Copies of this chain bind each other. A is one copy, B any other.
Amino acid sequence: MSLARFLAHYEALPERTLVGLMSGTSADAVTAAAVALRGRVPDVSVRVVGLRQHPIPDEVLQRLFAPRQTVADVAVLNVLVGELFAEAALALIDELGLARDQVQAIASHGQTLVHVPEQHATLQAGEPSIIAERTGICTVAEFRYRDMAAGGQGAPLVPLADFALFCDPAKNRAVQNLGGIANVTWLPAGGTLDDVIAFDTGPGNCLIDGLMRTMTQGHKQIDEGGALAAQGQADAKWLDLFLDHEFLRRPPPKSADLGDFDLELVRVVYRAMRDAGQSRADAAATITAVTAHSIANAYRDFLPAMPDEVIVGGGGVHNLTLLNMLRERLPEVAVLTHEKFGIPSAAKEAVAFAVLANETLLGRPGNVPSATGARRAVPLGKIVPA
């Protein structure tokens, strides 16, 4: 089929099925979400029909986090991650019993290798040509580059989807993602796209995960359910010191990289607390409080008003201590999860990229300039034909 005919067919479909693929900065897993999608922004609706957390093999993880990577390493990682993302998509499609031609497109974020907004540079591994070739499905990918070409930070990119899915006529809402990095989208009651504010609030799970790895010599990757932090007491001195971080004080637009939150700092704090006779639980409580406070502070410092509702998503929703701390810091705000809106929290970003790919295939822009700082709204991503 010619590409023009494919796209005309795509446009005409009342409902389209897309698979969104995402792996966050902490590379926990490849999230694959199958989405039945209707319409287009602002009148878009999504129904998540399937979700898979596809494991990332140790070999790929070791290469991803290898200290010194050459140009050839980048080229090989691009291939390995591309194959992995293709596998994730195919496994989900098979689980759902879908035929491949029942999926119109794949939206792949890839795995970020580096993100340097000051130099307008970013690099995501996960070659979409491989995804298209293995699946036989048109693939849209590499979303961040075009926003950066237009002068933006290349992040956050979820705001358009947040706006389309969650904007409320009567309530101020904040959509808070808790990935490795945490980001917020501000949706004022009855606002338009121009009213949207979005930025990275700071650490999501990255500091907590880093602390767990440090304390257990890598045996534990996460504080499951926030159980350890729940038993401890946050140390006010270290908490204040951490919250004075340059990134947290800087006004938006801003986007963070794992490199912005130095795990050395976590290690130093942990050692100092241990030497002072404080427990592991106290250290976990302190670092979890850093995360919760940094989010609440960002709302107070940088949003035009406090939200009526916060809709949290991402892996961090399973950390109940983090959510409880967030509720304590935001007593006037209802803290809800994406599940209340029919979207599994873990699927959130994959769904957002499916929404963006849908816009791209319809020839429409996907970034929100007030969120990324771009000069204009531009279509995002590159299209790899089936």
Write the residues of chain A forming the contact surface with B, with a CB cutoff of 8 angstroms: 1-8, 10-11, 68-76, 78-79, 82, 113-114, 116, 119-123, 127-130, 132-134, 141-142, 145-146, 148-150, 360-364, 378-379, 382-385
Contacts and interface: CB of A to CB of B under 8 A. Distances in A.
B121 A133 contact: no
Contacts of A127: 145, 149
B382 A121 contact: no
Contact of A362 (B3, B113, B132): B3
Given A74-B74, A385-B363, A129 B116 contact: no
Nearest to A259: B72
A129 B113 contact: no
A114 B82 CA distance: 17
A287 B128 CA distance: 41
Contacts of A363: 1-6, 385
Contact of A72 (B6, B114, B120): B114
B74 A123 contact: yes
Nearest to A147: B129
Contact of A123 (B68, B78, B146, B360): B78
A130 B145 contact: yes
A8 B6 contact: no
**Most chain B beta carbons < 10 A, residue from A10, A122, A133, A150:** A133
Q: How many identical chains are in the complex?
A: 2
6 contacts: A7-B7, A69-B71, A71-B114, A78-B123, A127-B149, A129-B148
A76 B145 contact: no
Contact of A4 (B10, B74, B134): B10
Contact of A360 (B72, B130, B385): B385
A10 B8 CA distance: 14
Contacts of A76: 116, 119, 121
Given A116-B72, A383-B385, A134 B149 contact: yes
A149 to B, nearest CB: 4
**Most chain B beta carbons < 10 A, residue from A5, A74, A129:** A129
A7 B134 CA distance: 25
**Most chain B beta carbons < 10 A, residue from A3, A11, A79, A114:** A3
B132 A146 contact: yes
A132 B384 CA distance: 16
Contacts of A141: 382
Contacts of A73: 71
Contacts of A128: 382
Contacts of A382: 128-129, 141-142, 382-384
A130 B149 contact: yes
Contacts of A122: 75
Given A2-B363, A8-B4, A382-B382, A150 B121 contact: no
B114 A75 contact: yes
A136 to B, nearest CB: 11
Contacts of A364: 2
A169 to B, nearest CB: 29
